[in-house]
Amino acid sequence: MRKFFSSFLEVLEVALVAVVSVFLIRTFLVQPFLVSGESMAPNFSNGDYLLVDELTYRLRPPERGEVIVFRYPNDESTYFIKRLVGLPGETVQVKDGKVTIFNKLNPDGLSLQEAYLPPGTKTNSQGELTKLGSKEYFVLGDNRSASFDSRSWGVLKEKELVGLARFRLWPVNDFRAFAAPNYSK
């Protein structure tokens, strides 16, 4: 009986360590995310299974061009995936099919060269300027004509960020790691 009890405690200990480890990893490091919809096509498709890095944004601020997962501002039980184009303190203008960023380094505007979009993609909007506060972001889907994003519902608050899309695990033949694009002129 003593041997059985000792074995039972050992199994219980391993199970407890496993449960605590999974909880800590999912809460503070990485979280799985299933893409639903086509707002990020052709770069992300419905059914793609991603790993979202939740640690990076605790160590550094988000960077332009990164693909992020966040809680939708009007219903925080819903998660979205979009590309980050406007950073805190900047002004974003979507006009004549292009995205232009105004900031201290580019007071006359930096027109984003978005090589990740299919040739000929136009970003439609009314042309208004969106001024971002100190903890606000502007996000767009890569499928610009079919994306519900900052052009529709406004700015994204920092508190709604979940993390950075780091790896695509599924489909297996399309496994890849993601990095922010370079927007230099």
pLDDT digits (tens, 9 = 90+) for 76-107: 888 999 999 999 999 999 888 888 999 998 89
Using DSSP's 3-state secondary structure scheme, residue 116 falls into: coil
Catalytic residue, from 3, 6, 21, 82: name it: 82
pLDDT band for position 166 (50/70/90)? confident
Plot region of 43 (φ>0 → left; ψ -120 to 50 → alpha; else → beta): alpha
Catalytic residue, from 3, 21, 36, 39: name it: 39
pLDDT top residue among 24 and 67: 67
**Rounded CA Rg of the chain:** 20
CB of 62 within 8 A of CB of 68? yes
Q: Is 45 a catalytic residue?
A: no
Domains and CATH numbers, the chain: 32-177 (2.10.109.10)
Which parts of 60-155 fold into alpha helices (H)?
Answer: 150-153
Q: Is 143 exposed, middle or buried (0-12, 13-18, 19+ CB in 10 A)?
A: buried
User: Which residues, at least 6 apart from 60, have a Cβ–Cβ distance to it below 8 Å?
Assistant: none
pTM to 2 decimal places: 0.79
Residue 31 tokens, joined: 């979280």
Q: Is 39 a catalytic residue?
A: yes
In angstroms, the Cα distances linking 153 to 55, 64, 74, 146, 147 are 27, 19, 8, 14, 11
